[in-house]
Structure formats: C-alpha cells, structure tokens
Amino acid sequence: MDDKDIISLFRKRDENAIAEIRARYGKLCFYIAGNILSQREDIEECVSSAYYELWNNIPPKMPDDLRTYLCRIVRNIAIKRLEYNLAKKRSPDFAVSIDEIADCVPAGSDLSDHDLSDAISRFLREQDEKHRKVFLRRYWYGDTVSKIAEYYGMKEQTVATYLFRTRKKLKAFLQKEGYDHE
C-alpha cells in the first residue's frame, strides 16, 4: 500500500490506516525516536503518540510527503520527551547534538519557523551530498559521530570536521538570510 492509499484510509477514518502506517514506517519511527530517547518505554510511547497525532491531523491536513510528515511528528514528540527527561536530570546522548546545532540556529527572530526551515533546506541543497548526508544523520536522525563514521566508512575525526565546517557555513548562511544570532 502506498502513501496515497494510507492517507485515503486516514481520510475515511479507517483504523487500518494505523496498521498500514505501522507496517510501512514503524521501524523508521522507532529508529528516529531511539536516537533521541534512551528508554524503550519512552520510545514506544513517542511512536504511539505520533500515530495518534497523525490520526488527529489527517484530515484536515493533507501532507504531500507522508514519510517526512510522520518523521517530523516523531522527532518533535521525542525532543519534547527528551526535554521532559532532562528536567529530571537524565542526560541522553541526543542532548549533545542539540547543543552543537544551537549556536547555528538563532533562538529568537522576526522570521517564522517555516521561513527558518526553508532557509535550512535551501542551505542543505547547496551542500555536496556527503556533507549533507552526514549533517542530516547527526542533526535529524540523531546518530552519534561514531555511528556516522562507521556507516560511511570514515574516521570519527573526519565526521567531526565535516559537522563543524557545515555548522559554520550554516551559521554564515542564516546570518546572510537575516537571522540574527546575537
């Protein structure tokens, strides 16, 4: 069953939509949540919450790319759960990657989150494929530097250098786009 068929099931309020989305994207959802959260129970709850949110959002929303839409929901829920967990003095690895990128992305700005998202997407499209993929594996999927190095057959120091240089370029790009960091 393809994404359009699954969206059609959601629009009809057919409960098979959840089973289909779980079969098609369940492993990906667990992977994303698992890279952000450390507790199995938190990961399962996050993914279940994402399915519930998807159920409540379709309709009225009609995502063009169901996979990306679902991944964004999972990621956002997992990050909120991580923030909750950190308030209890737990410290999963994903907090490190959030801290790394925090210097590049301004906290407050006159421009909207949608504009910021578009600017980052434009920036990433301008990067060569390897830098873009390493960046996304770290800051979207939450992979560790060692996992990225293993995945691409690179040294950890090379991955760290790629990430550092890409963050530096991103910060300069966003400043040029009108995002103030100070």
Query: Mean of the pLDDT values across residues 177-182?
Result: 69
Find the helix packing angle between 94-102 and 66-87, rounded to 10°: 100
pLDDT in tens, 125-171: 999 999 999 998 888 888 889 999 999 999 999 999 999 999 999 98
For residues 165 and 140, the answer to whether their CB atoms sit within 8 Å is no
In the chain, the percentage of residues whose pLDDT exceeds 90 is: 57
pLDDT in tens, 75-106: 999 999 988 877 655 445 555 566 677 777 76
Evaluate if residue 114 carries a pLDDT over 70.
yes
Q: What is the rounded (10 degree) CA torsion for 34, 39, 43, 46?
A: -130
Q: Is the peptide bond before 63 cis (omega within 30 degrees of 0)?
A: no
Q: Which CATH number fits domain 3-87: 3.40.1390.10, 1.10.1740.10, 1.10.1200.10, 3.90.190.10?
A: 1.10.1740.10
For residues 50 and 11, the answer to whether their CB atoms sit within 8 Å is no
Placement of tokens 């057919």 in the chain: 14
Domain spans in the chain, listed from the N-terminal domain onward: 3-87, 94-176
DSSP string, 57-103: HTTT---S-HHHHHHHHHHHHHHHHHHHHHHTT---THHHHHHHHHT
How many angstroms separate the CA atoms of 125 and 81, rounded? 30
How many angstroms separate the CA atoms of 133 and 150, rounded? 14
Tell me the whole-structure pTM to 2 decimals.
0.61
Considering the domain 94-176 in this protein, what is its CATH number?
1.10.10.10
Return left, alpha or beta for 144; rule: phi > 0 is left, psi -120 to 50 is alpha, else beta.
beta
